Structure 1
Amino acid sequence: MMPAAHGFSAADWQYLTGSLQLVDAARLDRPTLSVADFTDAARCRQLLDQLGPVIGAPSRRVTASLLSKRLAFLITGASFYALSACDRSLDISADNCRIDASHDGTRWTSCLPLHRLDAQALPSNQRDRARSVLVGQVFAGLIAPLWAVLHQVSGVPMRMLWENTAVRVYSLYERRMVDFTEPAAIARRDADWRFLIDAPPALFGGSVNPLARFLYAPTHRADGETVRFRRTCCLYFKATQPPVYCRTCPLLTVAEKKGPERITAKQR
């Protein structure tokens, strides 16, 4: 069994470093970029041009959207799982993070490298303030600058980038953290979810809260599945042959009209 580490229980540390791909930056044996390097337009453009052929993306715009989905999963997954499941705050500052865009030609192999992995416990009388600081650090301090440069160099719409982010947070709270049984963890998760949806736009570095903006009512489908369809397409289908659509893609109804052979729903 993996030992406890950096203030986390053994089980939580295993989940963070396994499913959520948190790693010690010093132990990573492949090149990564600092946030400053990534947000340099020339370096970012070069990264997208190198990554595009690897993931099968036909344009910088598609590459930028798909990369943003992966980065959003890595950044929000580790930070908010630590917050809600473990009652701890990781350092997700731009200075502490590295950007990993590794892909083996079939799937993402990238992770979230942090220089400092120790997480601060959150005393109950300081938790609300610490949570606000973390949310601002994650979104306004880290993600917003990353998305700004992706938009600048590729033309990918900011709305698409932020919906890519929002759906990752929804999945974390509505799918990955639904099986909590400890009352304290359930209460933390629910309180953190409400805070994220109601958080002031300034914590996201803009004029709107994207987590509230894209929280559309779910659709109850004839097959019994409940799906919250997106309003923007992440362009995943453009990097697959034949086209594969995410299960929440707004283009699924369009694809259905073109015949069953064109309809393949990506399950995750």
Structure 2
Amino acid sequence: MLTIQFFALALLATAHARSVYLEDLKLQPYLIDVTNIDQDDFEDALTDHRYESVHPAYLNRVRRQLGSMSTNPDGSTNLNLKVPLVRGESNVLSAVGSASGIQSAAGYRDAGIKAGPGYGAAGGGLALDNIHGHQMSLTGQHVPGLGNQLTAAGRLGLVNTENHKLGANAFVTRTMPNIPNLPNFNTRGGSLDYSFRDKVGASLGMAHTDLLRKTDYSAMGNLNVFRSPTSSVDLNAGFTKSQSPFPAFNHNWRPQGGLSFTRYF
């Protein structure tokens, strides 16, 4: 029954953040659905040792007991928190929080955006993880210079074994700008991702914003270069494409990637 419920919610899930540029509206770039900590595996939320004997196959990876801190190619930092609230035999309900694109004063001056420290987006919400790889979440966040966003997301675990993980994701984000004459608008999308032994992975994603008549595509791959119980180094590379009748939003396939460092705590 739970699997059927998650399948129905697969239209409300995602695994990837999408960048939207409103250059003609004089806005800075911002991220949609950057609160993606709900994508973490079920074992990341388990801190009760009784699960080690019941489900040992799901506990052979790094356990994120509270959260993680990661770096971006531009030098900014992301913080994620995930605190279990209620545990069952197959499900964990957690409180989640995140802050992305945290920059120092020097970082913002170098980027030519503004002087002084700041962040790209911050928020929190609730996430439900199932032992079979199904997930869903409801999160809200504030984006400085734009407004607020509410995201409903979910994941259907198609394959969830020790060596192979395949999932279908979908999401819908409601953006509520605090900019005069800019109406509320929705962005919806989805992706399909695969990973082998948590070392090599790939994903295909798409997101569409009706207001901008803009569709974003992505084809990405990732390689885990190093992992320890407390840290991880990952290489991400791929291509992105945007289609829109507005030239400011339209571009063909562009390379994208970088090396990221993550610290778990």
Q: What is the TM-score normalised by the length of structure 1?
A: 0.30
Q: What is the TM-score normalised by the length of structure 2?
A: 0.30
Return the structure number with greater relative CO, CA threshold 8 A, min gap 6: 1
- Give the structure with the larger strand fraction: 2
